Every structure is written in C-alpha cells, then in structure tokens.
Amino acid sequence: MIYLFIDSSGFGGIESHILQFALLIKQQNRNVEVLFVDHYPDHPLYQRLCTNKIKYRFLSDTAPSLFFSLLLPSDVVHAHGYKASLLSRFYRLRYSFRAITSFHAGEKLSGKLASYEYLNRITSFLSYNFAVSSRIKRTVPFRCHLLNNFIMQLPVFKMRSKHQVLQVGFVGRLSHEKGIDRFIELSDLLTGCQFHIFGDGDEQSQVIAKKNIHWYGAVDSMDEHWFLIDVLVISSRAEGLPMAALEAMAHGVPVIATNVGDLSKLVASDWIVEESDWKRLSILIDKLDAYDNIAWRALSKDSHAKIIDNFSGESRWEQIEKAYQL
C-alpha cells in the first residue's frame, strides 16, 4: 500500500499535487490512500478524492503508533509538508516501512514555521527525498532528487478567442512570497485590462479594498474558471514549480512570470522577468494585450502542448516507482 501523508486544512498547490500523485498511482494499478494527519471539516480535497474513487483516512482516528506498527516493510508512506514528514520519520525509527518525503516549501519562512522546516531538513537523512524544484533541492542537506510537478487530468485543448479586454489572472495564496502586492500594483498600472484573483490568505485585506479587481476567494477547483482569463501572472518572490502554472497552461492559458523556482523550465524566456525586475511584468502584459486573436491562439496552443509533452504524470512514473521500490 502507498500512503500519501499530509497535514492539510485547505486546498492549494500541495493538495493539488497530492491529487495528481494519487491519480497517477491509481492509473498504474497500485493501491493508494491519502492519509491526513487530522480531520478538517468541509475540506475540498475530500470530495475530489471521492469523485476519483481514491480512499482516504485520518491518522487522528487511531493511535499513530498502532497505525505505523501495522505497516509492512513493502508499504510506502510518502509525506508532504514538515508535520507529516517529521511524524513519518519518527515512526520509521521504530517500525519497518518505506519513508519518502517531498519538499515543497520554496519561500523564506519565519518564526515557528522556519524552525519546523529547519528540523524537517536536518532530519531528511532518515527518508528518501524529493524536491519539486532545483532551488528547493539545494536547500536539503542530504541526498534529494528533483521531481517536478506534473498533471494527470489533462484537458483536451479547446480553441477559444482572447477577450476583447485582456483578462489577467492571479491564482494562489494571498501572501507576501506570492507577490500579491505586486499583482495589485500591476492592476493600478494597467487600467486597460481587467484583473481577477482566485485565492485567500494573510494579505487578502489588500484585495478587498480594490474596486478594480474581481476577487473570487478560494475556489475548490479552477477548472470552471480558466475560461475567464487570458493570461496567468505569477508575480512571486519565491516558488517551486507551481501547480497553478501547469494547470493554466494545460487549459491553454499562457503564463507570464518572475524567474523564481523552476519556472524558467516551464515559461519561455520571452515571457519571464528577473524577480528583482518584476515591474517589467507590465511590459509583457502590454505585449500580450497587443496580440491579435491568431497570435494569442498560437501561444495558447503552444502552452497546452508543452504540458502534454513535458509535464504529464506518465513521464514521471519510472522515477517514482524506483523510489517506492515496487
């Protein structure tokens, strides 16, 4: 059995990654369950797992020591996030199972979170490790393997037109490291475009005050919203390889981004700027706004094709299977 282990109270990049992982494992006819540290009511991931007939359970429903003691040496516990990783390594010292950790945190942390993540990294010699970007990989002091994010549920490409007024989107946590303040400033500069924000977070008060931005809050899935936007802007100060970018391009939505994490592997050099020079994002948005429908459709189709060719789950399975030793 493969357990994808996570402590989660909402839906974001890691949760989307977990769903894609579970779908990939299921496609390979392997037994998989998602193991949550605790139960949070109305978690959107529960329904999405049910829809895809993927089992899940909660570690809090039983004594953790009992759960881990019943695992076989062939069982895999693949942890995501510091709490799940630390718990799985602790019990791996006592019981026999395969302990895997994926590192997702690319932002600079502070306070207790920074302490927990530091502990996560210095104990990483106790697990087989993946990182979702090259930059994150370099922060892990022990052996770690790069495993880029991927998408399983690849939509069929649908040709559509660019809106008459360019629709600019932000998808993700409303926080300093995601650069929501930068996106807001871009909306003030580019008054000829319409701006949309999907997500919530610590800095959402800045968004609420803006009358020129359509704010949707956190949504369970972007699938029904991608058609609203013509371009996704990632204005982050730090990233890994964001699932939002993969999902956008899979739906034919081009991405303009700062050069953080491994985004340069995904976004063409014409559409990426250095993080310190983020204000140049406005120039790229203006450039895209000037595209006619023929040029925009070609860029949309190329975005979709890049995900199909380079970021599908099937292309990652050999590496994952080796780690799991199945």
pLDDT at 70 over 90: yes
Closest alpha carbon to 196 in 158, 222, 164, 220: 222
Same domain, 20 and 100: yes
Tell me the CATH number at 299: 3.40.50.2000
Residues 319 and 302 in one domain: no
Band of the pLDDT at 272, cuts 50, 70, 90? very high
Beta bridge partners of residue 100, listed in sequence order: 78, 128
Residues 121-147: tens digit of each pLDDT: 999 999 999 998 888 999 999 999 999
- Residue 204's pLDDT band, with cuts at 50, 70 and 90, is confident
Please, what is the average pLDDT of the chain? 91
Say how many domains are in the chain. 2
Q: Do residues 72 and 178 share a domain?
A: no
Instruction: Give the pTM.
Output: 0.81
Q: Do residues 180 and 297 both lie within one domain?
A: yes
pLDDT at 282 over 70: yes
Whether residue 140 is found in the same domain as residue 7: yes
Whole-number Å distance between alpha carbons of 231 and 195: 10
Range of the domain at 67: 2-150+313-324
- The answer to whether residue 71 sits within a structural domain is yes
Q: What is the pLDDT of residues 51-60, one digit of tens each?
A: 999 999 999 9
What residues contact 111, with CB distance under 8 A and at least 6 apart? none
53 and 179 within one domain: no
Same domain (yes/no): 16, 143 = yes
How, if at all, do strands 128-131 and 145-146 pair? parallel
Residue 157 lies in a domain: no
Among residues 248, 219, 222, 224, which one has the least CA distance to residue 234?
248
Q: Is residue 260 in a domain?
A: yes
122 & 172 share domain: no
Q: Pairing relation of β-strands 231-234 and 213-215? A: unpaired
Task: Convert the pLDDT of each residue in 102-114 to its tens digit.
Answer: 998 766 666 787 8
Residue 134 lies in a domain: yes
Can you point out the beta strands (E) in the chain?
A: 2-6, 32-36, 55-58, 76-80, 98-103, 128-131, 145-146, 167-171, 194-198, 213-215, 231-234, 255-258, 272-273
126/8 same-domain check = yes
Stretch 74-88: mean pLDDT: 95
Mean pLDDT, rounded, for 225-230: 96
290 shares its domain with 172: yes
- Looking at the fold, whether 233 and 120 belong to one and the same domain comes out as no
pLDDT at 119: 92
Q: Are residues 76 and 40 in the same domain?
A: yes
Place of tokens 């936007």: 229
Rounded average pLDDT over 173-199: 94
| Structure token digits, residue 68 | 């881990």
Output the pLDDT for position 12: 75
